[in-house]
Chains A and B, each alone.
Chain A
Amino acid sequence: DQQVKQNSPSLSVQEGRISILNCDYTNSMFDYFLWYKKYPAEGPTFLISISSIKDKNEDGRFTVFLNKSAKHLSLHIVPSQPGDSAVYFCAASGGGADGLTFGKGTHLIIQP
């Protein structure tokens, strides 16, 4: 049973446009959500996070939106750049010293 779902295995976006990556979760105990960028054979790189007490967090080109009632979060990247091409993982935690539950990832491809 997947508690964190990323239903789009891949997403293609034109350079300069907005990339929107989606993530759904089922466990209502999750209260901390993170987005990571990952290249093959490398560890994940942290991008941005959001606590369940917020509905939006922004950091430069990255914005994460959280809709708790829908158990849905999204990562917006604007403007998209070629270097953004990678696999993006959504992850969730129940807080404290819990490990992360990851989605399966979305492969973002930025086209010139």
Chain B
Amino acid sequence: GAVVSQHPSWVICKSGTSVKIECRSLDFQATTMFWYRQFPKQSLMLMATSNEGSKATYEQGVEKDKFLINHASLTLSTLTVTSAHPEDSSFYICSAALAASGGYTFGSGTRLTVV
């Protein structure tokens, strides 16, 4: 089946530094990828939609200069959290749209802790 590999699974970084999270589609081409964030005991919130070769579309309230998304190829999308602060600590999950079935497949998530 369609698999999305997300790395790293967890990362701890110092406040002010940047962190890059990678999301790769292993056995299919992902034209559209999504990035979600989940705070403890909360829902998964859509942050942005990225289409290969074009700029990402950000949801209201999500700072595009802080959360840089690059989708340069059909198999790789990256999310970079720039100048991270403790309030950015969260669980980040990527997802790819499955064109054939109309469904979605998710990565395993990245637990980001900013200290």
Contact = CB atoms under 8 A, between A and B. Distances in A.
B106 A44 contact: yes
B111 interface: yes
B67 interface: no
A85 interface: no
Given A41-B109, A43-B109, A100 B95 contact: yes
Contacts of B69: none
Contacts of B44: 44, 89, 91, 100, 102
Contacts of B105: 46
A45 B4 CA distance: 12
A44 to B, nearest CB: 5
B27 to A, nearest CB: 16
Contact of A41 (B31, B102, B107, B111): B111
Contact of B43 (A43, A46, A98, A105): A105
Kindly name the residue among A46, A103, A104 whose own CB sees the greatest number of chain B CB atoms within 10 A.
A46
B72 interface: no
A97 B32 CA distance: 7
A101 interface: yes
A99 B91 CA distance: 17
Interface of B: 4, 6, 9-10, 31-32, 34, 36, 42-46, 49, 51, 59, 91, 93, 95, 97, 102-109, 111
17 contacts: A41-B10, A41-B109, A42-B108, A42-B109, A43-B107, A43-B109, A44-B93, A44-B106, A45-B106, A46-B104, A46-B106, A97-B97, A99-B34, A99-B36, A99-B46, A100-B104, A104-B43
